[in-house]
Amino acid sequence: MAVEPLSQKEIEDRLAELPGWSVDGDRLTRSYRLGSHFAAAALVVHIAGIQDELDHHSDLTLGYNTVSLGVNTHSAGGAVTAKDFALARRVEDIAPGHGAH
C-alpha cells in the first residue's frame, strides 16, 4: 500500500486526538511510565504483537519502569504517515490496561 507523508496540518489534527504523543524530528513518539519493570516488559510484548499485526514497527525501548516508542514510515522516506498514527491509536487503546500513563 502506497502511503504518503502527512502535511503539517494533518499531523497537528491527528496529534490533537492523541494526548501524550508528539512529533520529535521525523518521528511520532510517546513515552509511558508503568508501575514496575515487569509491567513495562509486558506492555512491550503487547505492542510487539500489535506491530506484527499491522506490519508496522516502532523503535520500542524498554527502560526501568518506562516504555518509549518512536515511529515513522520507512517506505515513505522516513516521513510520518497515517500508518504511524494508526499504530499510535492502537497502542493508546491498550496502554491504560497495563497501568501505563
Ligand X SMILES: C[C@H](O)[C@H](O)[C@H]1CNC2=NC(N)=NC(=O)C2=N1
Q: Closer to ligand X at the Cβ: 26 or 36? A: 26
Q: In the complex, which residues of this chain contact ligand X (CB under 6 A)? A: 55-57, 71, 73-75
How many residues does the structure list for the chain? Answer: 101
Please check whether residue 69 is in contact with residue 27, taking contact to mean a CB–CB distance below 8 angstroms.
no
At closest approach, how far in Å is the CB of 56 from ligand X? Answer: 5
- With CA atoms as reference, report the closest residue to 25 among 2, 49, 59, 53: 59
Between 23 and 34, whose beta carbon lies closer to ligand X?
Answer: 23
Q: How far is the CB of 32 from ligand X (least distance, A)?
A: 19
- Residue 30 pairs in a beta bridge with 69
Find, among 73, 60, 88, the residue nearest to 6 by Cα: 73
Closer to ligand X by Cβ: residue 39 or 79: 79
Quote the least distance from Cβ 24 to ligand X, whole Å: 15
